[in-house]
Amino acid sequence: MTTLPAQTDKSLGLVIDLDVCVGCHACVVNCKEWNTGGYGAPLSDQNPYGADPVGSWLNRIHTFEVDASQGGGCSGSEAQILADGKDTRVVHFPKSCLHCEDAPCVTVCPTGASYKRSEDGIVLVNEDWCIGCGLCAWSCPYGAREMDAAEGVMKKCTLCVDRIYNENLPEEDREPACVRTCPANARHFGDFSDPNSNVSVMVAERGGMDLMPEQGTKPVNKYLPPRPKTSPVQSAPSDLVALAEPEAKGFLGWLDAALEKMG
């Protein structure tokens, strides 16, 4: 069994904005390309050119449909329900390690390979000590760890620990690869222990949420729910024509008056 630090100096993690994630997989693939040549063993691929290609990834996107008019975790769009009577929606949900404060993957590790760093809260696997037993993956309620089939070690998001402090990179690039590459700006990196950090402010303003809080893992990463869908513009009439001048004299009559007004 491995112990968790009583507290961490920083609490680094990600904010993932479900309002703008279009499910494009940029973060997924850029993560793979950085990390396959980065921290620890490569992220191998089995049968890459054959039947059932499968490999290790540290970040994946799940796509599912919800009926938002019935709740389903999204606030329904008034406009949509007005139009269709329902609001069936596709949700794109990126998922990687959430670097939990109370990480069961750490406490379950029999060798001490899986640990949470006291300086910044990143949960890492020391691959030299990993015996590939897989207990951590079983204990993770989020399914965020993947055993590498070629190397026999557990792979997981490192929050790009080899980027965020890397003095060989320009300062502006010292952020996780997924954050740097996201075209929709749906991913943000920062220190949640600082209430004034970019991520803390965002979570406060947008009602950032824990994933599956009932699991008691206290995830550091937060998800921003879709913004309430813009309602029909309240001040716009639902029927333009009913309120407009032309109806009385017809459009061409209005045109005369309008041109007259223009001078």
Partner 1 sequence: MSLFEREPVETSPKVSDEVRKTTCYMCACRCGINVHLRDNKVRYIEGNRDHPVNKGVLCAKGSAGIMQHYSPARLRKPLKRVGPRGKGEFQEIEWDEALGLATSWLKDIRESDPKRLAFFTGRDQSQSLTGFWAQAYGTPNYAAHGGFCSVNMAAAGIYTMGGAFWEFGQPDWERSKMFMIFGVAEDHDSNPIKMGLSRLKERGAKIVGVNPVRTGYNAIADEWVGITPGTDGLFILALIHELLRAGKVDLDYLIRYTNAPWLVIRDPDANDHGLFARNEDGEALVWDRASNSCVSHKQSGVKPSLKGEVTLPDGRKAVPSFELLAEKYLDGAYAPDAVTEQTGVPAAQIKRLAAELARTAFEEEIVIEQPWTDMKGERHEQMIGRPVAFHAMRGISAHSNGFQTCRSLHLLQILLGSIECPGGFRFKPPYPKPMEAHPKPHAEYAANSPLPGPHLGYPRGPEDLAINEDGSCKRIDKAFSWDAPMSVHGMMHMVISNAYAGDPYPVDVLFMYMANMSWNSSMNSRGVMEMLEAKDDNGEYVIPKIIYSDAYSSEMVAYADLVLPDTTYLERHDCISLLDRPICEPDAAADSIRWPVVEPDRDVRGFQSVMIDLGARLGLPGFVNEDGSAKFSDYADYIVNHERKPGIGPLSGWRGENADEAGRGKPNPDQLKRYIENGGFWIEHIPAEAQYFKHANAGYQDWAVGMGFYDAPQPVIFQLYLEPLRKFQLTAEGKADQKPPEHLKARIRDCFDPLPIWYAPFEGEQIDEAEYPLHAITQRPAAMYHSWGSQNAWLRQIHGTNPMYVPGEVCDAQGLEDGDWAWVISHHGRIKVPVMRMDAVNAKTLWTWNAIGKRGGAWGLSSDAPEAKKGFLLNHLIHELLPAKGDGMRWSNSDPITGQAAWYDLRVRVEKAEPGDELSEPRVEAQKGPAQPGPSELRYGKEWTK
151 near partner 1, judged by CB under 8 A: yes
54 near partner 1, judged by CB under 8 A: yes
182 near partner 1, judged by CB under 8 A: yes
Q: Which stretch binds partner 1 (CB under 8 A): 136-144, 168-176, 195-203, 206-214?
A: 168-176
Contacts 24+ apart (CB under 8 A), 191-197: 191/10, 191/11, 191/12, 191/120, 192/11, 192/12, 192/13, 192/220, 192/222, 193/8, 193/9, 193/10, 193/11, 193/121, 194/10
Q: Which stretch binds partner 1 (CB under 8 A): 95-103, 123-131, 193-201, 209-217?
A: 123-131
Q: Which stretch binds partner 1 (CB under 8 A): 90-98, 99-107, 190-198, 201-209?
A: 90-98
Q: Which of 4, 15, 41, 211 binds partner 1 (CB under 8 A)?
A: 41
d(CA 236, CA 91): 29
> 123-125 and 45-46 as β-strands: parallel, antiparallel, unpaired?
unpaired
Q: Which of 103, 124, 137, 157 binds partner 1 (CB under 8 A)?
A: 124
Q: Please, which residue, 84 or 216, has the CB nearer to partner 1? A: 84
Q: Please, which residue, 1 or 241, has the CB nearer to partner 1? A: 241
Q: Considering only residues 205 through 224, tell me which ones interact with partner 1, judged by CB under 8 A.
A: none
